[in-house]
Structure 1
């Protein structure tokens, strides 16, 4: 299975599927549809049932039930890769029997054990890295590989009892729109799992509450030679605003259950400039306080201005799925048992981000998250362990079997 997994993964990551938050279309980039069409043909050739690709890039398929009375469950991954780092021309490096030393990515970029101590857990394993010029794309093409591989195994072994199993590959998850056009009723599952986590053993049912704040500065441009008491430089305004943001209340200054403000983008000219912040917090009350605090800061900043102005628009993206999943503890119990059965110690931790499952849980489809085996997503230092990918396949298969045993015994 290892070689088949590797071959499929190497093939998939070479599709450039970065999403684009500035394009309101769905999917936001045509390349996602190209990849989805490729997957559709593959699923059909492998014998999957009810294969359907919507015009908006949602690819669904089924493995038929082999036993009665077992609920339909689903597995979900996303087609797109992160738009904030180069995702084109991915050239994977394969390191067999990793020796525990620093890894050279391409010609001059280093994946060092000092900076990324998690590497030391994989001595003797097979690692896949980028070449240092792009991300790798394991987020979330590893999840797609693992779902297809696991469900194809079940198709090939109809003697294994299970209910109907659904899969869905969604567009635009990385820009927060993966659930926008997801048809929960048509999907038909009682619950599902996103296969979108990181290291071996991750099992997650908590995530950030998330919002995006766009602060727009309106200035006034004119010739700099005649700018006295006329020019208002919007770029200067936003620079001064950001300079007074909390220094350590940022992603690089937070961990575990800490929230943050993240300056994701700064752009503009003299006439108009813009700051885009991500607002994140696990606690609902603190999340609301963060949004109010930022809006109040804009109002206060405006009060001190003589010329020019700032405006703020805050849009909620998703909420902590914990409240939607805790009433269904069997969903977590099944995944946890599947990992234990495979000799994996479950790592139950909060997601310092979000998944399609975050929103789907609020749409009536409880949807925790399980590991893919990758590390350092969204950047040039991304890597994934092949043996962890194999383990993810085994866990998906076992989730289906445990679900069958649970409901057959009732």
Structure 2
């Protein structure tokens, strides 16, 4: 089996090109993609796929990019897809990203030049201790980098180019899927699974070298609306019930030492307010609710409502609505029914000379929802770290291992079929 080599530094060149294209998604936009600028990257990816010989590459009207690497074996194999997302998080600016390569990192603090207050220290980023001698890419200090998930895009593109240039490396049909709006929870809303035509796949959107994630949070979103009583503040005694203050009291009543992102880790879930706005008459808060089992998730939603009722009892003239909607579910329930998908992923990582780390992720990926749409889909490391922040970084050498892992997955499925 041929081995991938980043001899001409095409991997970091692809990544840097993608990182410079602003693709920030917008949760307040009703369109798909939520920002038209995501299509700028989509068009670039289609052009590159066509140039390497993926003749059916296309982007649809919703910004999804599809492509097929044809089978080159006589065996009948399942169709595999590899997926990454094009958008970057709304949490941090993605405009005018200036990627910087720090060659042969030696453990020093990485001071980012456009804002020297932004410093990436090994003491704060434990995985940096494994990067001595490697090439680290960061942004310049005023934006995120976009390794989440443009590292995955670059890795899949490199693997696609490898397969097209090396017909002696046997594999079945491989599909490519690049999605918009993953960061705002809509990554597969309008994915055309018939066009994709795959049996299962792997998202390339994980963090630490060697990780394969077969378990995610289950996730709900909640919208709480408080309807208060407004009146002139000069004549408000005994009459006004401020929706703003009632909402603030609800938030203050929720636990501060548990059930919050800042006090939980591993398999502990939370109730997390992510936005709020309002006036005296009406105020609204958005929450995300997370846990690893559906039972605990439902219990958190019930606890939120009980808390609201407890506070509202003090304000008899006011009312509320609480709407809880499912966002995605723990993909482990699906993947446990298809053990080879994860097993072969682990073997592919180990063939790349890396210790595989099977683990859970305190978040979700496109694979979470794809798994429940009939396409089992664990998550493979892309090497991205400190995502959604100005301290985001990625290692070129970790990215190379991700490319080799993608290639190995396709080869293993061909060998074992």
The TM-score range, normalised by the shorter chain, is over 0.9
Contact residue 298 and residue 311 of structure 1 kept, 8 A: no
Counterpart of 1:154 in structure 2 is 163
- In the TM superposition, residue 223 of structure 1 has moved relative to its aligned partner by 4.2
Moved more, 90-99 or 298-307: 298-307
Regions of 4+ moved over 6 Å: none
Q: CA deviation digits over 1:241-262, x for unaligned, max 9?
A: 1011111321111111111111
* 1:361 aligns to 2:368 (yes or no): no
State the TM-score, normalized to the length of structure 1.
0.96
- In the TM superposition, residue 222 of structure 1 has moved relative to its aligned partner by 4.3
Alignment gaps of 5+ in structure 2: 1-5
Contact residue 370 and residue 376 of structure 2 kept, 8 A: yes
- In the TM superposition, residue 220 of structure 1 has moved relative to its aligned partner by 3.9
Aligned with 1:111 (options 120, 145, 159): 120
Contact residue 246 and residue 312 of structure 2 kept, 8 A: no
Counterpart of 2:63 in structure 1 is 57
* 1:73 aligns to 2:80 (yes or no): yes
State the TM-score, normalized to the length of structure 2.
0.94
Counterpart of 2:3 in structure 1 is none
Contact residue 222 and residue 288 of structure 2 kept, 8 A: yes
C-alpha distance in structure 1 between counterparts of 2:347 and 2:298, whole Å: 36
Aligned with 2:48 (options 42, 48, 66): 42
C-alpha distance in structure 1 between counterparts of 2:260 and 2:121, whole Å: 24
- In the TM superposition, residue 118 of structure 1 has moved relative to its aligned partner by 2.0
Aligned with 2:147 (options 138, 150, 162): 138
- In the TM superposition, residue 268 of structure 1 has moved relative to its aligned partner by 2.3
* 1:393 aligns to 2:403 (yes or no): yes
- In the TM superposition, residue 92 of structure 1 has moved relative to its aligned partner by 1.6
Contact residue 49 and residue 64 of structure 1 kept, 8 A: no
- In the TM superposition, residue 15 of structure 1 has moved relative to its aligned partner by 1.2
Give runs of aligned pairs for residues 173-212 of structure 1, distance below 5 A. 173-212=182-221
- In the TM superposition, residue 366 of structure 1 has moved relative to its aligned partner by 0.6
SS in structure 1 at match of 2:206:
coil
Alignment gaps of 5+ in structure 1: none
SS in structure 1 at match of 2:286:
strand
Contact residue 149 and residue 384 of structure 2 kept, 8 A: no
Aligned residues: 407
Q: CA deviation digits over 1:12-58, x for unaligned, max 9?
A: 01111111111121111111112211211221122113212110111
Q: CA deviation digits over 1:169-203, x for unaligned, max 9?
A: 01111111111112223211111000010010010
* 1:123 aligns to 2:129 (yes or no): no
C-alpha distance in structure 2 between counterparts of 1:392 and 1:199, whole Å: 10
Counterpart of 2:106 in structure 1 is 99
